[in-house]
Amino acid sequence: MMTNLLVMREYIKSFYSKYEEFIVPALKFALALILLISINSRLGYMESINNPALVLVAALLCSFLPLGMTAFLCGAFLLLHVVALSLECTAVLLLAYLFILVFYFRFSPKSHLILLLTPLFFLWKIPYVMPLAAGMFGTPAAAVAVVCGVVIYYVLAYVTGNAAALGAAEADSMLQRFRDVTAGVAQNREMMIVAVAFAITVLLVYGIRRMSINYSRAVAVLVGTLADIVMLLVGDLMYDANFDIGAVILGSVAGAALALLMQFFHFNLDYARTEKVQFEDDEYYYYVKAVPKMAVAAPEKRVKRITTQRAHQSVRRSHTRGRSGK
């Protein structure tokens, strides 16, 4: 079973390296298309941008541009939809954007994929994979990108959940509506608990997977998953955040499985062949632990071609042998 998985991994890696110039734009296009469709389907307050043709053109542009441009276009779509709904919500969303500018672009300016995928995975009910993946493949600064994604999701969740009330309020209560929206977002206990739990999980997973222990990455995923569940449940008990306990546990298990799957295809070690080496130079004495990567060469398919001339020659030889035998 493991051999078959390793062979499949080698096939996928070989296929990706061979067609990378086509696969990367296709993946960027698919990501941008899914994000923009999700934004329009969840919000859809501005009809002029809720257009399939416009979405396709924007996604096509994103396929040839850096991921930062995808984040910019998604942010622009969000802002335009919220502008069409309420000026107060627009002000709150701009404050969220200011938070992202201050922290995200200061500490984690290259984690665009984490920033984009975190709200999307919330919509898919498996956001718990993001802190695990960020800790596995990123740096401690990736926690900032995860937290920014959490803030964006909960701001939009508040907007969509209160769209009817926000759109029907009177114009003379604009200041009061702004206060209500700001308080509704800032005092969201669920958002605060999730943001803190995810940030700690990223740091915990990163710290464990950097340790010199066998199966450190798998241990990091398992410990991070358990720690995340415990923090969310404790936060729910302390602050009455009304988490769906079943969804938290099932989503965390699914997130751990996805993180382990990504780990298998990205970085898999053969700890059975671990070697410990000691050597020294004029200034230091070194203790080195060498763990080989687990790899299996994909079998090559060889096709033997027989030309028509060779086929006739083999037939003639068989006839000649048959006559000589008689």
User: Could you tell me if 222 and 319 lie in one domain?
Assistant: no
User: Could you tell me if 21 and 149 lie in one domain?
Assistant: no
User: Could you tell me if 49 and 175 lie in one domain?
Assistant: no
User: Could you tell me if 105 and 237 lie in one domain?
Assistant: yes
- Of 55, 82, 109, the position where a domain reaches its end is 82
Number of domains in the chain: 3
Domain that includes residue 12, residue range:
1-82
* Ramachandran sector of residue 44 (left: φ over 0; alpha: ψ -120 to 50; beta: rest): left
- Of 269, 285, 316, the position where a domain reaches its end is 269
User: Could you tell me if 219 and 131 lie in one domain?
Assistant: yes
Backbone angles phi, psi at 43, to 5 degrees: -105, -85
User: Could you tell me if 240 and 286 lie in one domain?
Assistant: no
pTM recorded for the entire structure: 0.83
- As separate numbers, helices (DSSP H) first and strands (DSSP E) second, the chain gives 15, 2
**Tens of each residue's pLDDT in the chain, 326 residues:** 667 777 787 788 888 888 889 999 999 999 999 999 999 998 888 888 988 999 999 999 999 999 999 999 999 999 999 988 888 888 888 988 998 888 888 887 788 999 999 999 999 999 999 999 999 998 999 999 999 999 999 999 988 888 777 666 555 467 777 787 888 888 889 999 999 999 999 999 999 999 888 888 899 999 999 999 999 999 999 988 888 889 999 999 999 999 998 888 777 666 666 777 887 887 788 777 776 776 665 555 555 555 555 555 655 565 555 555 54
User: Could you tell me if 78 and 151 lie in one domain?
Assistant: no
User: Could you tell me if 166 and 23 lie in one domain?
Assistant: no
CB 255 within 8 A of CB 126: yes
User: Could you tell me if 197 and 317 lie in one domain?
Assistant: no
User: Could you tell me if 106 and 237 lie in one domain?
Assistant: yes
C-alpha to C-alpha distance for 237 and 273, rounded to whole angstroms: 46
What's the half-sphere exposure (Cβ side, CA atoms, 13 Å) at 243? 25
User: Could you tell me if 159 and 264 lie in one domain?
Assistant: yes
Overall residue count recorded for the chain in this entry: 326
- Of 41, 60, 82, the position where a domain reaches its end is 82
User: Could you tell me if 122 and 263 lie in one domain?
Assistant: yes
C-alpha to C-alpha distance for 109 and 104, rounded to whole angstroms: 6
